[in-house]
Amino acid sequence: MKACPFCAIDLVTVELGGKNRLACVTCEFVHWNNPKPVTATIVPMNNGIVLVKRKFEPFVGSWCLPGGFIEAAEFPHESAEREVFEETGLAVKVSRLLEATAPGREINVIIIFYEAIPVGGSLVAGDDASEVACFEQNNLPEDIAFDLHRQIIDNWFAGRIAVS
């Protein structure tokens, strides 16, 4: 972000709360650069879990958990259920929150991991995915797109996630 969304003039760097921020000199606007929340969901199925093969950057052709950005005024669990349906064709109900964390490395997102149980629909790759499939613990794909997805998948199969 370079310009004030209200005044359309260039933002300037100011120190606020001990950090440099971009702010508007005319109005009160500060670009806080807060992280965007995303969900990613483990859907147990056929003795494994559902993964989608990515159709778009980053990591085209790699596999990952279904998920995406939370939309305006959406509850996080609803967002997770919507994203799973859009990407996999499965209607699901969130069964539990697994973890909320961040990737670090200046990737400005908060990732909320859920587990969700299929309640209808059938596996069909959505617009964002080139393929969708179930994988058992012993045949997970080598190329899982995100380190945090790989970690939560390993922890989930190993039963290392506390019940919440």
Binding site for Zn ion (CB under 5 A): 4, 6-7, 24, 26-27, 29
The answer to whether the beta carbons of residues 34 and 105 sit under 8 Å apart is no
d(CA 68, CA 128): 10
Please say which residue, 6 or 56, places its beta carbon nearer to Zn ion: 6
Please say which residue, 26 or 130, places its beta carbon nearer to Zn ion: 26
**Which of 99, 131, 136, 142 is an active site residue?**
131
Minimum CB separation of residue 56 from Zn ion in Å reads 34
Is 87 designated active site?
no
d(CA 67, CA 124): 15
SS (H, E, C) 32-47: CCCCEEEEEEECEECC
In one-letter notation, the amino acid at residue 74 is E
Minimum CB separation of residue 33 from Zn ion in Å reads 16
Please say which residue, 7 or 107, places its beta carbon nearer to Zn ion: 7
Minimum CB separation of residue 60 from Zn ion in Å reads 38
Minimum CB separation of residue 108 from Zn ion in Å reads 22
Please tell me whether residue 72 adopts helix, strand or coil conformation.
coil
DSSP state of 115: E
Please say which residue, 20 or 122, places its beta carbon nearer to Zn ion: 20
For residue 71, what are the contacts with CB-CB under 8 A and spacing of at least 6? Answer: 79, 82
* Catalytically active residues, by annotation: 131
